[in-house]
Amino acid sequence: MLQATDVKNFVCVCCPMGCQLEVGFDDKGSVTSVTGYTCNRGKAYAREEATDPRRMVTAVVCIKDCPEPLSVKTAQAIPKRFIDAALTSIRSLDLTAPISAGDVLIKDVAHTGVSVIATKSLDAML
Ligand code: SF4
């Protein structure tokens, strides 16, 4: 029988049903059970959220000689433990227009293997 400290509870955010998920662990921290999901997507989400939670990172950055900021995001979710390092790299960007939506601004941000991309286009100032 699992002890209270051997269980983590999550709400699945993969669809509006919001299933209540429960993940059990053994004394070495390995996942031993996942319950509460209605589909395998939720099962996979629970496992990842319990062992290696990931998030998309979004930010806005200033562009030289451009009054409008540029919105950027990671191309995929990255492990939460790398978010601060990713934001530090994003803050150090030194960009000039023109920039197109989808342009890769940082490859392999914080050594995650994930790129940071522009989410909108900005034309050069005339
Ligand atoms: S487990 Fe499946 S049905 Fe339940 S919220 Fe997650 S994605 Fe939706």
Q: Of all residues in the chain, what percent carry a pLDDT higher than 90?
A: 87
Which tens digits make up the pLDDT trace of 95-112?
Answer: 999 999 999 999 999 999
Q: Where are the domains of the chain?
A: 4-51, 58-118
CATH 3.40.50.1000 fits 58-118, yes or no: no
Query: Could you tell me how far CA 103 lies from the centroid of its own chain?
Result: 19
φ and ψ at residue 84, rounded to 5 degrees: -60, -45
Residues in contact with ligand 1 (CB, 6 Å cut-off): 12, 14-15, 17-19, 37-39, 41-42
Pick the residue whose CA is nearest to atom 6 on ligand 1: 42
Binning pLDDT at 50, 70 and 90, where does residue 90 land? Answer: very high
Q: Is 42 exposed, middle or buried (0-12, 13-18, 19+ CB in 10 A)?
A: buried
Bridge partners (DSSP) listed for residue 73: 58, 117
- Give the strand pairing for 63-64 and 95-96: parallel
Only one residue has tokens 């979710």, namely 77
* Amino acid at position 13, single letter: V
Please tell me the pTM assigned to this model.
0.81
Find the 12 Cα to ligand 1 centroid distance in Å: 6
